[in-house]
Structure 1
Amino acid sequence: MRDTNTMDTGKMAAGHIGAITLVRHGEPNLSRRVKFDWRGYEAWWAKYDQAGLLAGQTPPPLLHDFARDARYIYSSTLRRSIETARAVCGERAFESLDMLIEAPLPPPHFPSFIKLSPNSWGWGFMARVWWWYFNVHQGLESRDQAKKRARAAAEFLMERAREGGDVLVLAHGFFNLMISIELKKMGYIKALEQGFKYWGCRRYEVRTRS
């Protein structure tokens, strides 16, 4: 873990509340061109959480700009998030936090003859629907627990932004979305939206009175 408080760079101004940018990691080095039952998906997801990034990727230039201007930079503690932060930040320091890891994706226990791919419209979709709408968490972090974690993460990031500099988070697609929901409740407005694609970001700024 590396302390970002000693950075000399970044936007810092008295009375300024920084922007918060939430970035999804780059593409992991694990194929989605497979199909299996729910047990196979659990095994695949365990490998996904251990996987680094697919070689040969280049972060969008905009992310380098955000890293240059940020006072605080954070990743989750998962490998794909850390490698994304390294690719974007270069020699800049960043801190890895457990509170930023992805929300779990426990698959529903369908009959074993049902075989799906792990992509967004296969097990990934089914697991997220069952977890979010039916709160089926198979003993992992529940939806309500993840919501509390997202709220705590949003409060933490907002406190850093209130210190007068931009904040950059290089983490995970769905949990970033959960944080963004909390940021909007706190008065932030969306300044940039790139969806759930790899390297995609959401940027939030404080709503100002006209």
Structure 2
Amino acid sequence: MSARIILVRHGRSAHVHTGWLDAAAFQRWRDAYDAAGIMPGELPPPALRVLAMQAGAVVSSDLPRARASAELLVPGAEIATSPLLRELDLPVLPLGNARVPLAAWALAIGLRKVYGALRAEAPPAATQRQAGEAAAWLIELAAQRGSVLAVTHGWIREVLARALADRGWRRVHASGRYAHWSAWTLTDGRPSGASSPV
């Protein structure tokens, strides 16, 4: 068996917003989103629960929506949390005091990310450092436990997957590319317990 790292996006947030937002209101929304757990009645897909139960370790971001999602995947199990798996800060957008729907903010963030990718912009140094440290931690856990399932967030997962790829890991499966509860599985292609570069 090759060592595996499974990166899972959390379930749907309990924080719901309606109405239009300017930049200050958008930041308040972000703060409330980070403080909220997951939506009442939210349940992970059964196949993902099986995957989590089979993992040698389950870890999560220390934000409430990720912790709550991990607890649903492996009820009663010990779950280590880390700020290394926490969502990245959103880019500053040139919308100023314009009041627009939340969907417009999401679209602007997505377009900014695409623009950066097209220009081959490197992530900020702090982002690269966080992803590198998270990758090293998960690789070490996978070497010890055979497999690790990490409940994290949409944007950091992208950067973390690239950091793992830079260290020789390859993606072998991805479900629901950006959906809640989606899972990306990466493997180092070597038997469990073999050393991996960090």
TM-score by length of 2: 0.83
Q: 1:77 aligns with which of 53, 56, 62?
A: 62
2:184 alignment counterpart: 202
1:27 aligns with 2:12: yes
Shift of 1:38: 1.1
CA deviations over 1:99-156 (Å, ceiling 9, x no partner) = 11000114425342x222333xx2134346557967xxxxxxx822111110111111
Q: 1:115 aligns with which of 94, 99, 110?
A: 99
1:64 aligns with 2:64: no
CA deviations over 1:30-82 (Å, ceiling 9, x no partner) = 22443211111011101001011111111011221121111121111110011
- 1:18 is paired with a residue whose SS is strand
1:169 aligns with 2:179: no
* Contact 1:17/1:162 (<8 A) preserved: no
Name the CA distance, whole Å, in 1 between partners of 2:61 and 2:169. 22
Name the CA distance, whole Å, in 2 between partners of 1:20 and 1:125. 30
Q: Structure 2 unaligned runs (5+)?
A: 117-122, 191-198
Structure number having the greater strand percentage: 2
Structure number having the greater helix percentage: 2
1:187 aligns with 2:168: yes
* Contact 1:51/1:80 (<8 A) preserved: yes
Which residue identity does 2:160 align to in structure 1? I
Where do 1:93-132 residues align within 5 Å?
Answer: 93-112=78-97, 114-119=98-103, 122-127=104-109, 130=112
Deviates more, 1:122-131 or 1:80-89: 122-131
TM-score by length of 1: 0.79
Name the CA distance, whole Å, in 2 between partners of 1:54 and 1:160. 30
C-alpha spacing 1:172/1:148, structure 2 compared with 1 (3 Å): same
CA deviations over 1:136-192 (Å, ceiling 9, x no partner) = xxxxxx822111110111111111112241100011111011110111111212121
Identical positions, percent: 24
User: How many residues are treated as equivalent by the alignment?
Assistant: 183
Name the CA distance, whole Å, in 1 between partners of 2:124 and 2:114. 6
2:120 alignment counterpart: none
Which residue identity does 1:200 align to in structure 2? S
1:155 alignment counterpart: 136
2:195 alignment counterpart: none
